[in-house]
Chains A and B, each alone.
Chain A
Amino acid sequence: MLTFISYWRAAAIVLNDLGSSAFYAAGIAEQAIGKSAPWFILGVMLFSFTVRAVYVESCSMFVRGGVYRVVKEALGGTLAKLSVSALMFDYILTGPISGVSAGQYIAGLINDVFATADAHGWIPRAVHTIFNGTPHLDVNWTSVFFALAVTIYFWWENTKGISESSEKALRVMQITTVMVIILLAWSAITLFKQGYQSVPLPIPSNLTFSHESLGFLKHTNLATDLAKKFGLLGILIAFGHSVLAMSGEESLAQVNRELAHPKLKNLKRAAIIIAIYSFVFTGLTALLFVMIIPDSVRVPIYKDNLIAGLAMYLWGPQLLRLVFRAFVVVVGFLILSGAVNTAIIGSNGVLNRVSEDGVLADWFRHPHKRFGTSYRIINMVVFLQLFTIVASRGNVYWLGEAYAFGVIWSFTFNSLAMLVLRFKFKGERGWKVPPNITIAGREIPVGLASVFMVLLSTAIVNLFTKSLATVAGISFAAGFFVIFTVSERVNRRKHALAQQEMKEHFQLLHSDTVERHGLGLKPGNVLVTIRDYNTLTHLKWALERTDDKEQDIVVMSARVSQFGAAAYDLATEQIFTDYEQTLFTRAVSVAESFGKHVSLLVVPARDVWSAIVQTAINLESSAVVAGLSSKMSGQDQAFELGKAWEASDEPKRQFVLQVVHPDMNVDTFRIGPHAPSMKTEDVHLVHRLWLNITREPGLDKLHHHDILTEALTRFAKDCSGEEREEILRQLRNVSADSGSPARTGSDAVEPRVIAPSTPVPENTTATGVPTAPEANPNSNS
């Protein structure tokens, strides 16, 4: 029930998260370790190729090879809870750091525009007086305000249940690519025209650790001339301060299940695109940052908006540079805001996943009354993000340091789990991280172990050198770990009781696909979709009008999971949750009150419309009965279903959609190509034409449908010719006169209610998006 995406789109989704770190990682790293930071960022970006390889291997084993699933398989529930706590810290921090960073770019631009305007004397004296000089914003608090606004905006969007669009991600990455190309080309010209500042080599003697960047070590005697005392340790500490440049890899595991066939090959392609892009963008930008911007302003002024600073020090007229800077800020706003959204969606997905496993109380997953989203999880995530934003006071360095904690520990857990699985799970894998050496019949995963060793040593060193991150990260992870552990215990007790009740009431069968034969259903059955157990009027309506001896009645609930959620690799008992149990108990109770039998079906899906269409096609249903949505009209529901029908693969068949209003009025629509209902005057017109033409010699055997065929053929020809505009103008007039939305068609004439048992007409000839409504005397549409 998924809409599969190409590897380009998958790469775009991941790069929206990963690419956003280019806007702040180098600035944070230089503050911590000095001017040689760009080499470490480049090193981290190269190393990220190997981390990506670990994720490709995990995804080749599990459709959703994210940290939680992999660690649980390899190391058990406790470490899985611990690793997911670290991952949650990563996700919670992604939102604030992206929002605050975007705010820094915007506030920085506004201040520079004020300064430029003031230099030209464009600022009125009165404004000068108010600000005691050139007007300017407090960058950090403006960033806080901006980050809060963006987070609250996406909180509401996610509560409403926005659909994650790979199209949008692709567009953002296309715009970003334009910016990157201009930036690199312009920087090359600048280096040629103005020369460059050398970037000190990444050797211990060139490292200058700030007081903050030594963390707990600053209280020991290691702090004095640390680099000379422990040469490689200095490199390791510097590497640890640069790892946040590769944050966002977990998103690769999350988009994996949405990738089109051949999955593994496309995953590898997406991984290559991501690796090359992020190396060029994040790595080269960091290098140019030091090569082009003078030391006197680089860290003091542009540490938190380095690409904007780069734009201002390019070769060329100031106005042009300012325009390019504005473009950088727009791109930064788009990509960083996207990362705020990804953080909310990702955390929601991960918490839904652990909740489905019984690790988080079902209470968290209770759907929103109106929108059906897991709003309690969203609320909790957004609350933590808002708290973090305010607590940070707009300090990007602090946020970056804390962020790195979640990033490095979730990677470390993932690679450790993959290493353990090499010994624990001997079966075939789609792909393995190379090289693997076989000694005495035992395979040694040299490559995987190497990546793990780098990650583990970096994670351990970070514990000592990032004191704030360590305290915040451990407190947060411990808090989440306690919540998970307590929730799991409560759930276990509750589920044991529920399991017993469930066995008494329902016989559960798990199937990877929905098949009519497997469910023992007759063709032409009625599919009733349900979501809210308080609104089952349409089920009653269907039960009233259907003879279950003639037609099977299937009651279906689509488990909608957004990007990041993972309802696809669940066991039966996980799919049939408390909520579905209550929902189906009510449905069965309604059916029993009518003395009728219903079959129950839970379909995990990304898109509810595709799920309904695919289920109706697979079950060969003649009718789909749905309740009226609280968010859209019956016609809109039909339109969405029609679109999903058009997008579904062949073979597909037509069916009737009946949208039942709370007052039992019904809107009926046909989904799929069908013969249009004709007005009486049109029938007369065809007849008159037929009479007229059959008088001609040799045309006495002509049929009415021959007239229609000829007319439609000519119409199709005209539509693709010069008269197209005129035809469209006429049709717009007709559409406006008919008074109903054009997209759902307005050719309905015969007023009748189609009961579920009404057969769908076969061998129809009309084409196009097929949601023509039939007028219904009882309908209020």
Chain B
Amino acid sequence: MQSIVSLAIRVLEVFFALGLAGSVIVLVLSGIEDLETLIGSEESHPN
């Protein structure tokens, strides 16, 4: 039982670690796009 729990925890940890690594890439890439969106603000004035 203990080993199953340990395995499940390891799987979760791998899931989380891989997900975090990928999320950092998402953050960087979408951040670059966000910057482009902000810089290219030619319309829709705030009111």
Contact = CB atoms under 8 A, between A and B. Distances in A.
A230 B9 contact: yes
A46 B20 CA distance: 11
Contact of B30 (A47, A49, A260, A265): A49
A434 B33 contact: yes
Given A6-B46, A230-B13, A233-B13, A451 B37 contact: no
Contacts of B19: 449-457
Contacts of A391: none
Interface stretch (A112-120, A130-138, A266-274): A266-274
Interface string A440-456: 00000011011111111
Contacts of B47: 6, 8-9
B44 interface: yes
A451 B13 contact: no
A461 B37 CA distance: 36
A268 B44 contact: no
A449 B37 contact: no
Contacts of A9: 47
Contact of B25 (A233, A450, A457): A450
A298 to B, nearest CB: 28
A7 B29 CA distance: 22
A272 B31 CA distance: 9
Given A272-B37, A453-B16, A460-B12, A266 B44 contact: yes
Chain B interface mostly:
helix
B9 to A, nearest CB: 6
Nearest to B47: A6
A453 B15 contact: yes
A612 interface: no
A716 B47 CA distance: 28
A232 interface: yes
Nearest to A455: B19
A53 B26 contact: yes
Contacts of A262: 43-44
- A interface, over-half SS: helix
A454 B46 contact: no
Contact of B22 (A453, A458, A460): A453
Contacts of B41: 269
A235 B17 CA distance: 10
B21 to A, nearest CB: 7
B18 A450 contact: yes
Contacts of A50: 23, 26-27, 30
Contacts of A316: none
Contacts of A268: 33-34, 37
A536 interface: no
Contacts of A450: 18-23, 25-26
B25 A446 contact: yes
B1 to A, nearest CB: 10
B25 A435 contact: yes
Contacts of A230: 9, 13
Given A6-B46, A233-B13, A262-B44, A272 B38 contact: yes
Contacts of B27: 46-47, 49-50
- Which residue, A222, A266, A453, has most C-beta atoms of chain B within 10 A? A453
Contact of B26 (A239, A272, A447, A458): A447
B18 to A, nearest CB: 6
B13 A232 contact: yes
Contact of A232 (B16, B29, B37, B46): B16
A433 interface: yes
Nearest to B41: A269
Q: Among the interface residues A236, A275, A434, A454, which one has the most CB atoms of the partner chain B within 10 A?
A: A454
The 3 closest A-B pairs by CB, nearest first: A450-B22, A453-B19, A454-B19
15 contacts: A7-B44, A50-B26, A230-B9, A233-B9, A233-B13, A236-B12, A239-B16, A272-B37, A450-B25, A453-B19, A454-B15, A454-B16, A454-B23, A457-B13, A457-B16
